[in-house]
Structure 1
Amino acid sequence: MYFTDRGIEELAERRGEETVSLDWLADRLREFVDINPEFETPVERLATWLARLDDPDED
């Protein structure tokens, strides 16, 4: 397990039963970047990756 997995595990444990919309997630990501602008690039990369998961042109 990577060190960063601990946060993912906490998220799954605390909020894993919830259902959220992608609009809600996008708002939380924007809020996070507003508070932590140094994480803009990684958050943008994550959002782009999630948006393109089913894109057959992406390899």
Structure 2
Amino acid sequence: MYYTDRGIEELEKRRGDEEVTLAWLADRLQEFTDIHPEFEVAVERLATWLAREDDPED
């Protein structure tokens, strides 16, 4: 198990029944990056990956 798996599992356990919008997620990612700028690259990569998930060229 990767270290990140624990955070993902906690997210699912605490908020797994909630429905959220992509706008809400984008706001939370921007807020996180403002607080933790050292993770800007990782957040940008995650957001790009999510945005292009169904793009056959990526």
Q: TM-score range by the shorter chain?
A: over 0.9
Q: Deviations over 1:4-56 (max 9, x none)?
A: 10000000000000000000000000000000000000000000000000001
TM-score, length basis structure 1: 0.96
Paired amino acid for 2:8: I
Q: TM-score, normalised by structure 2?
A: 0.97
Q: How does 1:42-53 map to 2 (within 5 A)?
A: 42-53=42-53
Q: Which has the higher helix share?
A: 2
Alpha carbon RMSD of aligned pairs, Å?
0.5
Which runs of 4 or more aligned residues in structure 1 lie more than 6 Å from their structure 2 counterparts after TM superposition?
A: none
Consecutive unaligned residues of structure 2, counting only runs of 5 or more, are none
Q: Percent identity?
A: 74
Q: Across the two proteins, how many residue pairs are aligned to each other?
A: 58
